[in-house]
C-alpha cells in the first residue's frame, strides 16, 4: 500500500464505490478509483485495522494504491460493506484466484471462508494452482485434495510450476503413489485358481485384463514434456496447458457428461474400487469365487490408499 496526496481527477471511479461521504480512496493497479469508508476497511480487514493507527489524520483525499486489479477490488470491497455478497461461481477463474489471494493478503475474514471454499471447488479444473494456493495459506485438506488431482500430471509440468521445496515433496509423493499402483498389477495376477480347484478360473482372466488396462492407461499419460509446459504458474497460458493435459486425461471409456468426466479426471487408484465393484456386478453370477476375490481386492486397495501418506506429510 502506497499513499499519495495528489488525486488525479481524470481517473475513472467505480460506480459501486463512489460515496460522497467516503474518507479514503483506493486506486487499483489498472487505475480505477474506489471511494470507501476507512471505518469499514478497519472493521473487516486485519491489515487495514493494524495500519489504522498510523494513517489516522493523514491528508484528506489520500489515495492508497493497491496492487490488485479493479475487477478484484470491486469484488473484495463488497465484503466490507453491508450488502449482498457476490456469487463466486459467476466469477471467472483468473479473477477468482486473485480475489482469493487478496482477501488472504488483507485478512478480510468475512471473505476468507467463502473464497477458500470456492478455490476448493475448482480443484478438478485447476489442480496445480489450487495446490499452490493451499500450500501458501496452509489449507491442509485442500492441499491433499489438489495434490491427489495432480498425480497424473507429468513431473516436467510440475517442475515448472512449483517452488523447489514443494516440487521435492511432490516427487516423493508421486513415487509413493507409483509404488501403490505397481502393487495393484501383482496383487492377484492374470490367472487365478480358486480354493480347491487346480485349473485357473476361466472368468478371472477377463476381470484382470480389464482392470489392468485401466491401471495401465494412467501410466501411458506420462509422456515427454509438452512444448508449452515451461510456462510459469500465474502466467495466462498456464490454464491452457493444464486444460490440454486434463482433457487428454478425460478420454476414458466413459468420458461423457460432467460426472463421468470428473470421474475420468480422478486418479486411477481412487477409481479402482468402483471398477472392482462393477466387475463384481457384471461377473458375479458366473463365478462366486471371482466375486469374493474381487471384493477382497477392493478392501485391500481401499486400506492401502487410506494408510498411504498424504501430500502434506511430505512437506
Ligand atoms: Zn472365478
CB 1 within 8 Å of CB 51: yes
For the stretch 141-157, pLDDT in tens is 999 999 999 998 999 99
Q: Is the pLDDT of residue 172 over 60?
A: yes
For the stretch 24-74, pLDDT in tens is 999 999 999 999 999 999 999 999 888 876 655 555 667 899 999 999 999
Ligand 1 midpoint to CA 205 (Å): 9
pLDDT score at 263 = 56
Nearest by Cα to 229 from 163, 161, 147, 174: 161
pLDDT score at 309 = 94
**DSSP per-residue codes, 213-255:** HHHHHHHTT--SPPTTTTPPTTSTTHHHHHHHHHHHHT-STT-
Q: Where in the chain are the domains?
A: 2-121, 155-313
Ligand 1 midpoint to CA 291 (Å): 7
Whole-number Å distance between alpha carbons of 249 and 13? 45
CATH superfamily of 2-121: Potassium Channel Kv1.1; Chain A (3.30.710.10)
For the stretch 180-233, pLDDT in tens is 999 999 998 899 888 877 888 999 999 999 999 988 887 665 544 343 333 344
Strands 24-27 and 13-18: unpaired
Q: Is the pLDDT of residue 243 over 70?
A: no
251-256 average pLDDT score = 32
267-273 average pLDDT score = 88
Q: Is the pLDDT of residue 80 over 90?
A: yes
Measure Cα distances from 118 to 51, 121, 269, 312 in Å.
Answer: 29, 5, 26, 21
Residue 91, Cβ neighbours under 10 Å: how many? 19
Whole-number Å distance between alpha carbons of 15 and 12? 9
Ligand 1 midpoint to CA 264 (Å): 28
Ligand 1 midpoint to CA 288 (Å): 7
pTM: 0.77
Amino acid at each position: 500500500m502506497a499513499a499519495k496526496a495528489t488525486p488525479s481527477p481524470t481517473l475513472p471511479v467505480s460506480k459501486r464505490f463512489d460515496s460522497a461521504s467516503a474518507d479514503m480512496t483506493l486506486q487499483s493497479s489498472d487505475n480505477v478509483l474506489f471511494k470507501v469508508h476507512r471505518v469499514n476497511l478497519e472493521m473487516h480487514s486485519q491489515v487495514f485495522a493494524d495500519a489504522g493507527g498510523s494513517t489516522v489524520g493523514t491528508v484528506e483525499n489520500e489515495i492508497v494504491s493497491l496492487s490488485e486489479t479493479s475487477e478484484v477490488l470491486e469484488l473484495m470491497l463488497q465484503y466490507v460493506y453491508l450488502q449482498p455478497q457476490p456469487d463466486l461461481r459467476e466469477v471467472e477463474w483468473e479473477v477468482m484466484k486473485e480475489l482469493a489471494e487478496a482477501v488472504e493478503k488483507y485478512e478480510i475474514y468475512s471473505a476468507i471462508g467463502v473464497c477458500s471454499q470456492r478455490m476448493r471447488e475448482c480443484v478438478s479444473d485447476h489442480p496445480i494452482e489450487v495446490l499452490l494456493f493451499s500450500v501458501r495459506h496452509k489449507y491442509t485438506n485442500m492441499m491433499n485434495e489438489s495434490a491427489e488431482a495432480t498425480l497424473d500430471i507429468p513431473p516436467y509440468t510440475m517442475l515448472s510450476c512449483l517452488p523447489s521445496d514443494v516440487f521435492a515433496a511432490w516427487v516423493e509423493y508421486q513415487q509413493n503413489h507409483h509404488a501403490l499402483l505397481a502393487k495393484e498389477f501383482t496383487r492377484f495376477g492374470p490367472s487365478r485358481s480358486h480354493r480347491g480347484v487346480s485349473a485357473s478360473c476361466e472368468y478371472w482372466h477377463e476381470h484382470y485384463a480389464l482392470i489392468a488396462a485401466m491401471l495401465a492407461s494412467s501410466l501411458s499419460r506420462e509422456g515427454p514434456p509438452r512444448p508449452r509446459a515451461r510456462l510459469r504458474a500465474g502466467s495466462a497460458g498456464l490454464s491452457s496447458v493444464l486444460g490440454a493435459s486434463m482433457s487428454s486425461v478425460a478420454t476414458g471409456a466413459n468420458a461423457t457428461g460432467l460426472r463421468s468426466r470428473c470421474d475420468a479426471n480422478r486418479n486411477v487408484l481412487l477409481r479402482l474400487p468402483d471398477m472392482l465393484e462393477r466387475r463384481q456386478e457384471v461377473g458375479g453370477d458366473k463365478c462366486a469365487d471371482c466375486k469374493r476375490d474381487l471384493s477382497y481386492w477392493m478392501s485391500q486397495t481401499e486400506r492401502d490408499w487410506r494408510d498411504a501418506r498424504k501430500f502434506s506429510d511430505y512437506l
